[in-house]
Amino acid sequence: MFNRISNKKELEESYEFEKKRIENELQNLNELRHRTRKENERSYDVFQYLKHEMNYSEDAQRKMTRNIEAYEQEINEIIRKQEWKLEEYKEDLKKSYKNQLDKLSD
């Protein structure tokens, strides 16, 4: 990743920039998880209101609850996979940084 960099200062700046970018992406994923949870809560609240107003059955409520939970589970799984990839990239980045730093120190 850092093989083309031949200056320690530039290496450190590039490494810090990439770390910040990864942290921003992780934060965005966390915010997405939170937004999804809030949207699901709102959907459930709307459904509860409609159930009361339109006399939806208990079966309809179970189906809606299952759909909301399945959606949230699917989104969380996608987010976890993306977080895992970012954490793995962060580790690779750190190794690459240390290797290049060692090369520049020699």
Domain boundaries, the chain: 8-105
Taking the CB of residue 47, how many other CB atoms lie within 10 A of it? 17
pLDDT tens across 64-75, in order? 999 999 999 999
pTM for the full predicted model: 0.82
| C-beta separation of 22 from 93 below 8 A | yes
pLDDT tens across 12-67, in order? 999 999 999 999 999 999 999 999 999 999 999 999 998 889 988 889 889 999 99
- Residue 15: both structure tokens together: 């490494």
